[in-house]
Structure 1
């Protein structure tokens, strides 16, 4: 069993007589990507503020890297990187200058980490371009670079794809996957966009009105919700032949408009897309989807529409 990076015990926070967090019991295992799901105002940001030391619990406690004393938590927080309520950027500075400013603020010795971190997030060639002229996706990657200074073992990201266009969302998603797999960084990603978290998370926590309703793994969620790959190609008939021949599966359904629902290979979509393109097919649409994913979340929070 993997060690827990973060473990909470009846963690609670009250603001103006109202419980923003109510006896939350959460555990995040080393190496996981934990999708923290909830409506805006459900308690996600309050939880993150407590863990990062920006607010104090009203009751309960938590462990970070096994530490729960005040001094122990101060030391443990040096091993985490965060983006809370958007990255803190200096708009008139370059990417490198932004990192240098934050390096000095964090007291990280040596400048060699700057170029290494810029390369890690794909911003090594931005030169003298000011952050104010970056796209939203670039700004988010720069925010991630700042969070990655000091080689954190645990990233806490609050709504990291909010406001991004589809390409920006894909850029950030692929970068987070790379950081998790290649650099073994554990992540807590807070979001109300369930469909996007489903492409990233290995585990989930569903919070509503301050209460953690459920924790479950991606495997458990997939068992509860019918998952499939939504595929639209230029030649649907050829695609079905490839699925049956090359990928040896008949677990698919062709819809009236020619789109294909593939119920196999949901855990390895890259293999499907590569096989189809290798056979000369043009992918017009290709995305994992869940027929009951949104419905499951809505049902868990009592039928309330989330925003």
Structure 2
């Protein structure tokens, strides 16, 4: 079965006078993914989202949405997207229901039943006559999300949605996005400068720095790279693996394509590992503890790009 792509970009670039905001960006988002777009502030994340939603136009390269690439088709395809790129326009003196009614009329959505349904979806069904000015920041953020969801989009784009939220608000928003993804099959592109925040949410990541996409990897690949382990290189890999199994009674290791062994146990007993290998006649060429925290992995990737 062919993967169904919601978004594909092909060497997408954007230049403002002398400033290159994006350079040859190639990302692909499949249906049902939660794509975490990670980068420090001011490195091109918002520019990218503006290009996808049609708020700005590329200098070169192309965008494909729902398999549509021609500009006329693209405008039509963009109607299937909902985005919160700047703070959503909310009327402070109105209730949540009244806010959605205004947006429903603006968007020309027939029938009011979508309002109750959407309020229910974002957990604001019990706000009644309470004015938006009396909402917490988390509630306002969920109302903004309700505005975006009113038209029943297939693809949701969120730019730094947790900015200014307290920890509880962040958890609530994260759970809501997960639920929308799970129950409605909504595909989500979400940008943030905090990798750890998206780690519990995204199924795929794109790391951007100075307008360049440094890496694109799945959540599973990221976890593998960040998993703490002992990196072992001995003169006989097969024998080394046998010794780990027989002498240290562990199968919690992987033999990598380059012949190194990643041992995920005995992290706090390196001496025992080293002794078992040498006592059994092996020469240890390399033994170190590896694995990153998410933050240090992100810093290392970004720092490496700065030093090139």
TM score, norm. by length of structure 2: 0.77
Which runs of 5 or more residues in structure 1 are unaligned? 228-250, 252-262, 265-289
Q: Is the 8 A contact 1:207 1:213 kept in 2?
A: yes
Secondary structure (helix, strand or coil) at the match of 2:196 reads: helix
RMSD between superposed Cα atoms in Å: 1.9
1:291 offset after TM fit, Å?
Answer: 4.8
Q: Does structure 1 residue 81 correspond to structure 2 residue 56?
A: no
1:77 offset after TM fit, Å?
Answer: 1.2
Q: Is the 8 A contact 2:22 2:44 kept in 1?
A: yes
Q: Which moved more, 1:100-109 or 1:47-56?
A: 100-109
Secondary structure (helix, strand or coil) at the match of 2:15 reads: strand
1-structure distance, mates of 2:134, 2:64: 40
1-structure distance, mates of 2:227, 2:304: 19
Q: Is the 8 A contact 1:85 1:159 kept in 2?
A: no
1:82 offset after TM fit, Å?
Answer: 0.8
Q: Does structure 1 residue 181 correspond to structure 2 residue 182?
A: yes
Query: Corresponding residue for 1:296?
Result: 297
Secondary structure (helix, strand or coil) at the match of 1:164 reads: coil
1:304 offset after TM fit, Å?
Answer: 8.3
Query: Corresponding residue for 2:6?
Result: 5
Q: Is the 8 A contact 1:48 1:156 kept in 2?
A: yes
Structure-to-structure mapping, 1:111-260, within 5 angstroms: 111-226=112-227
Number of equivalent positions:
247
Query: Corresponding residue for 2:72?
Result: 71
Q: Is the 8 A contact 1:298 1:304 kept in 2?
A: no
Runs of 4+ in 1 over 6 A off after TM superposition: none
Query: Corresponding residue for 1:22?
Result: 23
Structure-to-structure mapping, 1:257-276, within 5 angstroms: none
TM score, norm. by length of structure 1: 0.77
1:303 offset after TM fit, Å?
Answer: 5.4
1-structure distance, mates of 2:73, 2:132: 35
Q: Is the 8 A contact 2:39 2:208 kept in 1?
A: yes
